[in-house]
Structure 1
């Protein structure tokens, strides 16, 4: 009986050796690739976590500078984020904060620089779109109307369409292009959900141009 079992074990060993000789190199290669990929993924995850943690510390510095209205500290913290952690969400947020703070302080060139970086380089598409909307407003204040319209012509996700149309309406209205302004304001009005305060603001703008969007007809007493 023992001899019979020894023969079976030998046959199994022979089959195993044959299998390994035929497929061993391939199996080893596949395992190396799999374990290498896992190691690389874990390393990448660790690197991302570390980047996010360090970027958050700089973001705190931006928040503190904004609260203190310290333009110099704001610019320095954003510069550090932009240069060292450009791919993080915090860099985009910092640029938006700096752009708003600069615009509120009347530094339109500074706001333009910060928002341009976010619009072109931020990692989050939502931050890019918001930066384009704000940048268009800054450029409009500088009377750079064509450049403002260019910012609103691409890179705007569908969820920002209504706001972009409203901005375009503002630009056309300032240029005295009434028909174009009405067209864009009407787009904005239709795309904003009912009940949104912003929709009411757009309605007021259309009324001022002689249009009642709710009725789809010229408003009584509107501008000619």
Structure 2
């Protein structure tokens, strides 16, 4: 097949470009293909892990619903086993932190305070769980308050996130009142009121605490 001069020049230019960049172009195509395949594989693996974590979380929830029933002791054992697996093997998933809160609540209802504390302390130590970590700190402070471990409870309430400032101040007031530090408790509750929206339902409860404190 004959080519005219212009076509021959194009072919020669293409041949020269391929001789110079062909290996690099092939390598780029291969790298891109491997990256796409790797990303797809990673997403599939993450999806598999998420499904596995969800299974343990659902098992934990199921056990928690039966913790106060006739098989409460067995339910508590299953709760701890499921939570241990979530914390050790799926710590980076949302199911682990959510599972800890469910487990802690169930164990506290079972009066297994040491078990509940262990669950909450794990979540408190997880700096990567910024959404649920403050919830764990509040819950842990309340658990320690119930056990009259006042100093340890107050330590959980230092440097509250802005979104939790009012709730932390309210819990601080509870602890200080339990210690008999009425003036400090009043200041904490007043701080909580000031930090809350005007229509917050909790404001009425805090006001009742202040009224009871003034009448004591």
Instruction: Tell me which interval the TM-score lies in, with the shorter structure as reference length.
Output: 0.7 to 0.9
Instruction: Verify the 8 A CA contact 1:108 1:138 in the aligned structure 2.
Output: yes
Q: Secondary structure at the match of 2:199?
A: coil
For 1:75 and 1:170, the matched residues in 2 are separated by 30
1:50 to 48, 51, 58: 48
Whether 2:77 is the aligned partner of 1:72: answer yes
Whether 2:207 is the aligned partner of 1:207: answer no
| CA offsets 1:73-127 (integer angstroms, 9 cap, x no match) | 1111111222222211111111111111111222211110011112223854222
For 1:180 and 1:24, the matched residues in 2 are separated by 76
Q: 1:183 corresponds to which residue?
A: 187
1:143 to 142, 148, 152: 148
Whether 2:12 is the aligned partner of 1:14: answer yes
- Indicate how the Cα distance of structure 1 residues 182 and 15 shifts in structure 2: closer, same or farther if over 3 A, else same: farther
What pairs with 1:74-153 in structure 2 (closer than 5 Å)?
74-121=79-126, 124-153=129-158
- Indicate how the Cα distance of structure 1 residues 27 and 191 shifts in structure 2: closer, same or farther if over 3 A, else same: farther
Whether 2:176 is the aligned partner of 1:172: answer yes
For 1:79 and 1:165, the matched residues in 2 are separated by 32
Instruction: Select between 160-169 and 17-26 the one with higher mean Cα deviation.
Output: 17-26
For 1:195 and 1:88, the matched residues in 2 are separated by 35
Deviation at 1:18, TM superposition (A): 3.4
Instruction: Verify the 8 A CA contact 2:166 2:191 in the aligned structure 1.
Output: yes
Instruction: Verify the 8 A CA contact 1:92 1:122 in the aligned structure 2.
Output: no
For 2:127 and 2:83, the matched residues in 1 are separated by 12
Q: 1:59 corresponds to which residue?
A: 57
Instruction: Verify the 8 A CA contact 2:83 2:96 in the aligned structure 1.
Output: yes
Gaps of 5+ in 1: 211-221
Instruction: Select between 52-61 and 27-36 the one with higher mean Cα deviation.
Output: 27-36
Instruction: Select between 166-175 and 11-20 the one with higher mean Cα deviation.
Output: 11-20
**Count of residues in Structure 1 that have an aligned counterpart in Structure 2:** 209
Gaps of 5+ in 2: 68-74
Q: Which has the higher contact order (CA 8 A, sep 6+)?
A: 2
TM-score w.r.t. structure 1 length?
0.82
Runs of 4+ displaced beyond 6 Å: none
- CA RMSD of superposed structures (Å): 2.3
